[in-house]
Structure 1
Amino acid sequence: MEELRKLEQLHTTLTFMQSHNFVPSSTLDSNRFIANLILLLLQPCGELNLDMKFRLLSEYLPKISVSFLEEASQWIRFETDERDYQEVNDPSGKKDCLPLQINHEEVAMVGLEAMERANSTLEDFCRSYFMFHGVDIDIPLMIFKYFPVLAFTESYIYQLDGLNEKILSIPTEGDTSLAKEFEKMNYQCWAETFANMLEKDPFRPLLNVLELRGLLNDRIREEFRSGEEYWALERKLCRALTHKMEISIKDVMRAIHLKSFDYRVLNLLLYQLRGQEVNDLHMEFLSDSEFLVEISDDLMVSIIYSTPR
């Protein structure tokens, strides 16, 4: 996640530079260097504000020469992996300037965009499913009692779904902008990063959170595995369509059955949150209804795209 965040920040900075005609060089490496310098200046560092940072840079930059940097390189040993930072003693106790020593792959985090994307699903779940659990949606206290866990879980799922979509998104050909040039050159790196995230137990951080709260059980684990299988099938089918290859109807039907795994996760979580035994008849009914809804949605999309305009 940390690598992805850094790539996105660099991409945004390059786009910002181009929008202000601030492109000092035609070489990508030079532009990336300037972009990284801008990002460095924007990072918090104790009590320094932007004006103080700018004055420091103006004062000391003329004193930095090639020979000074060469001598500095003899004093400072860089690790081959720039992501590995050496711990530095900070007598002031301020750690603002130091990178946080956090293994982001082990921490369940969600972004604002994922929360916004999950919003419509959460609203639908509250309106359509709470009544099956005896929860009155007209009583805010009842909703917000369970909403944090449900919202965090659904947002995390949407975040992973966004990564799955990025794997299949190919930069537009023919766009020669600086940002697109950077995107094309790094597309393979992005794709590999996203694929690794999705293939190496992507739900583990979320499962850890649920387990610590005593909410995790085997059925919820199984539904998360269904989610991983669904994304794998989605990638397989999309690639087949992109390359005009034959697709398996069995794969399509399986994907449709798996697609609403998040609703099943939310239902199972709500049973756990309320301390109730799972009603298997209820879950079977919901699974069948979700399957019909998915088919209906796909048919509607097909009709819309096949209608002459």
Structure 2
Amino acid sequence: MEGLKKLEQVQRTIHVLQSIGIINPSKTNNDSERFLANFTLLLIQHCGELDISAKCQLIAEHMAKISTAYLMGALQCISGEGENQIESAVSLHCYHKEDPAPVQSISDEMAMVGLDAMLRASSTLEDFCRSYFMFHKMDGNQPESIFRHLPMLSFTESYIYQLDNLNEKLLQLPTGEVTVLDRDYDEDERSLSATSVRMLRRDPFRPLVILLEHHGLLTERIKEEFRCGEEYWALERKLCCALMSDNEISIEDAIRAIHLKSFDYRVLNLLLYHMRGEKVNELHMEFLSLSELLVEVSDDLFDYEEDILNNNFNILRMFVKYYGASAAPANLAKFITEAEEKYDRLLKELGPELSLKYQKRCEEATREGGKTSGPPLGTWHVPMVVEDEAKYRTEFSTSSRPRGQSVNKLLLNRHE
């Protein structure tokens, strides 16, 4: 009799939830409806001095802390299969105030970003809007075009920047003969790198994947670009560790890394296609990938000395290590020329209107970068290469020359 009464109560609750639009029969099954009904009945049960508002506040405060692992541990504990399951699940998945790392998530499966990552991502987002929106027949200077898609684009780019920042922190730790994720840390290093290692050893994009999937924005192409991002960071750690340890490197690894480096732009572009319900334009993707490659090489030349000091991936560093100081500039020039030849061919295939728009945007970006004379797209400048990086870092630490101040530039004529 008691069971029938409870079942009737559940059914009435389901009807109420349907009538006010909380439950949509076309989108839920019977089990989901019963769960929501039982949850509602739990909320309205008397519990001391707690009213409905207080109960809702408690749920809002604590729900994010309860992960799948926590609930599975609780189930085992309640069923008598384990005594410490809840405690271990809480220690693994809940927020730790003593963790000073930049990414402090309430749950390992909750995607969160910090203000620093958002600030770092802002310039990329601006460039993406101004350079890529035209490929979607959108005006990057119109607020309505930008803000309609900005929340998801901004969050995604900020999340990627956050992971990239963690990877950079690992590159600056002493490594010895192994990559930083494979070594055992001293106690004084553990607090600095624990969060970085935890995020990058496991599936670092999983929280973002869950978020995008929840919003119906995850595609196989986007997941593949996330895998490219993981591969890039792994190659960066491998190559930079080799340089710091004075070990040999693979030039194939270096070239693969520079091709992967702009994976975040491709993620944003694929997201924009999906949010707008557009089919991916493969010609545009191929052209933009080449453009991204050339921009990455240009940035690496500009940041060459800074990247030596910070032990960041830099294509010129890799060419110097592999080919030697004397042969590296010529080999890099050959690499750039081949990429530009393909770029020029694909640029013509875009069509006159889009091609002209993109060229104007490139000229605009060149001027904003400080180029006020000479060819509209600038020229390639290869800085004087550093043969002994360890000596350079030592000399820099005892000198007063500002970072980024290049000396004795070598001019590499840009392919016309």
- TM-score band (shorter)? 0.5 to 0.7
Q: 1:305 to 1:239 in 2, by over 3 A?
A: farther
Secondary structure of the corresponding residue to residue 186 of structure 1: helix
**What residue identity is the alignment partner of 2:407?**
T
Q: 1:236 to 1:299 in 2, by over 3 A?
A: same
Q: Structure 1 CA distance, aligned partners of 2:142 and 2:302? A: 34
Of the two structures, which has the highest relative contact order with CA contacts closer than 8 Å and spacing of 6 or more? Answer: 1
> Which residue number in structure 1 is paired with residue 302 of structure 2?
300
Q: 1:205 to 1:248 in 2, by over 3 A?
A: same
> Which residue number in structure 1 is paired with residue 214 of structure 2?
212
**1:158-197 to 2 correspondence within 5 Å?**
158-170=161-173, 185-197=187-199
Q: Structure 2 CA distance, aligned partners of 1:275 and 1:162? A: 32
Q: 1:234 aligns with which of 233, 236, 242?
A: 236
Secondary structure of the corresponding residue to residue 277 of structure 2: coil
**1:1-309 to 2 correspondence within 5 Å?**
84=91, 104-170=107-173, 185-302=187-304, 303=383, 307=407
Q: Structure 2 CA distance, aligned partners of 1:307 and 1:201? A: 42
Q: Give CA-to-partner distance per residue, 1:251-295, whole Å, 9 cap, x none.
A: 110100000000000000000110100001110111111111112
Q: Which runs of 5+ in 1 are unaligned?
A: 1-78, 86-101, 172-182
The percentage of counterpart residues that share the same residue type is: 61
CA drift at 1:129 = 0.8
The count of aligned residue pairs is 206
Higher Rg: 2
**What residue identity is the alignment partner of 1:268?**
L
**Runs of 4 or more off by more than 6 Å in structure 1?**
79-82
Q: Structure 2 CA distance, aligned partners of 1:80 and 1:204? A: 24
**What residue identity is the alignment partner of 1:261?**
F
**What residue identity is the alignment partner of 2:171?**
L
Q: Which runs of 5+ in 2 are unaligned?
A: 1-85, 93-104, 175-184, 305-382, 384-403, 410-416
> Which residue number in structure 1 is paired with residue 73 of structure 2?
none
Q: Give CA-to-partner distance per residue, 1:155-179, whole Å, 9 cap, x none.
A: 00001111111112238xxxxxxxx
CA drift at 1:127 = 0.9
Secondary structure of the corresponding residue to residue 203 of structure 2: coil
CA drift at 1:209 = 0.8
Contact 2:130 2:141 in 1 (8 A): no
Q: Give CA-to-partner distance per residue, 1:9-32, whole Å, 9 cap, x none.
A: xxxxxxxxxxxxxxxxxxxxxxxx
Q: Structure 2 CA distance, aligned partners of 1:209 and 1:81? A: 25
TM-score (norm 1): 0.61
Q: Structure 2 CA distance, aligned partners of 1:80 and 1:150? A: 37
CA drift at 1:187 = 1.1
Secondary structure of the corresponding residue to residue 106 of structure 1: coil
Q: Give CA-to-partner distance per residue, 1:173-220, whole Å, 9 cap, x none.
A: xxxxxxxxxx98431354354223112111011011111111111000
Q: Structure 2 CA distance, aligned partners of 1:186 and 1:298? A: 32
Q: Structure 2 CA distance, aligned partners of 1:146 and 1:248? A: 40
CA drift at 1:82 = 11
TM-score (norm 2): 0.46
Q: Structure 1 CA distance, aligned partners of 2:88 and 2:215? A: 36
Q: 1:82 to 1:144 in 2, by over 3 A?
A: closer
More helix by share: 1
